[in-house]
Structure formats: C-alpha cells, structure tokens
C-alpha cells in the first residue's frame, strides 16, 4: 500500500492512469488516461479511457441478499461468529465507457453500465444503465439532459476518438478545445476518415 492506495493483484491498468491517495481498487481494469479520485472505492469494474472520476465515488457497490431471513452477513462472514468461513457472494461486473465524468460522492450499484461520454452528477445513485452522452443525477439517478444532439453523438460513437494515438489528438487539438457541435464533429470525422487511409 502506497500513499494509502489499496490495489489488489487482480487489477490491470493501461498507460497514464492517475490514482489519488486512499483509493481502493479490486479486480478491475482501468483504461488509458483515466483519473481515479481520492477515497474512491472501485470493485469488479471495467472502466474505459479518458474517464474523470471525482473523489469519494463508489463504483460496483455490492448488493446484499434481502430475500433470506436476515440482511446481516452472519451466514457468509465468519466475523459474526456463526460460520467458520468467508463466502464472497457473486457480484455483477460494472462497466463504465470511455470519456465518462463521475461527480464526487456518486455511487454506481454493481452491474450497471454507463455509456461513453456520459456524465453522472455529484451525489447521484445510479441503479440502472445510462446511455452514451446522457447527463444523469439524483437519488435514484435519472436523465436530466444530454451533452449533444443525436447526430453529433452518432459521429462521436463512430469515430471512437479515445482509440486515437496522442499525436493524432494533438493534430486536432484546436477542434478538441472548441465547443462541440455537429459541424465540429463532422470535421473530426473527416480527420478520422483520412487517418484510416
């Protein structure tokens, strides 16, 4: 453990990942250029490239069985003095797309999928899948807007800029820094089409 960071040996990281102090990451994959905030808890998750995850975020919050006689973990955790074993209950894997922003204190329940380019507001509790480029907030979280119009989103999903090399992004830096509209997205698509030739 370094700087309070707790990462198990089932984790994998791509290049240029930043993990702030006191983050806990278990059995997860983190994509290129993703930033993990302080005191984040991530388990059983696949997180894409270029994501910005604020502080105190929980991704893959485990669920407890509530169809049995008790909600207590006494039937599968030895620290309660009833059983002499620890049994990890199966959890669904959580998926976070590329270029996702997750605000501070947000919680993603295990098994949800957050689409590319989505925004999760601070304090939100995400209990269902979020489509690409939508903005969700609240408890439980619901759609409160979209980042771009449908035509622009289609272009972004098609060009998959997050798979470009950093030098290609630098070539388009002026377009990346502009307010995105369909015209700018079309210019990015033209660049993407040319780079594939």
Domain boundaries defined on the chain: 6-63+92-147, 148-197
The topology under which CATH files domain 6-63+92-147 is UDP N-Acetylglucosamine Acyltransferase; domain 1 (2.160.10)
Q: Which two tokens stand for residue 156?
A: 């972004």
For helices 150-159 and 182-195, what crossing angle results, to 10°? 20
Return the pLDDT at 86.
Answer: 84
Q: What is the dihedral of CA 120, 52, 113, 30, to 10 degrees?
A: -160
Return the pLDDT at 196.
Answer: 62
Q: Which residues pair with 19 in a beta bridge?
A: 36
Return the pLDDT at 91.
Answer: 83
Helices and strands, number each (H, E), in the chain: 4, 18
**149, 150, 148, 158: which is closest to 188 by C-alpha?**
158
pTM of the model: 0.90
Which positions of the chain have pLDDT values less than 70? 1-2, 196-197
Return the pLDDT at 66.
Answer: 77
Give the other-Cβ count within 10 Å of 63's Cβ.
11
Return the pLDDT at 2.
Answer: 61
Q: Which residues have a catalytic role annotated? A: 64
Return the pLDDT at 76.
Answer: 83
pLDDT in tens, 71-105: 888 888 888 888 898 887 778 999 999 999 999 99
Q: 59 by DSSP, 3-state: which?
A: strand
Return the pLDDT at 89.
Answer: 76
Return the pLDDT at 147.
Answer: 97
Residues in the chain: 197
């Amino acid at each position: 453990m370094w700087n309070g960071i707790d990462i198990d040996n089932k984790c994998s990281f791509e290049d240029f990942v930043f993990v702030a102090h006191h983050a806990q990451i278990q059995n997860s994959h983190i994509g290129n250029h993703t930033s993990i905030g302080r005191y984040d808890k991530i388990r059983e998750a696949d997180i894409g490239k270029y994501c910005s995850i604020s502080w105190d975020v929980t991704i893959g919050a485990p669920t407890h069985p509530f169809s049995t006689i008790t909600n207590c973990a006494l039937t599968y955790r030895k620290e309660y003095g009833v059983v002499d074993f620890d049994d990890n209950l199966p959890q669904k894997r959580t998926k976070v797309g590329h270029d996702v922003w997750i605000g501070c204190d947000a919680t993603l329940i295990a098994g949800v999928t957050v689409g590319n380019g989505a925004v999760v507001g601070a304090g939100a509790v995400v209990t269902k899948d979020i489509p690409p480029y939508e903005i969700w907030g609240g408890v439980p979280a619901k759609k409160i807007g979209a980042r771009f119009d449908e035509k622009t989103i289609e272009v972004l999903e098609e060009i998959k800029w997050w798979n470009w090399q950093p030098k290609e992004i630098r070539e388009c830096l002026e377009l990346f820094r502009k307010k995105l509209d369909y015209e700018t997205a079309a210019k990015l698509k033209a660049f993407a089409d040319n780079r594939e030739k």
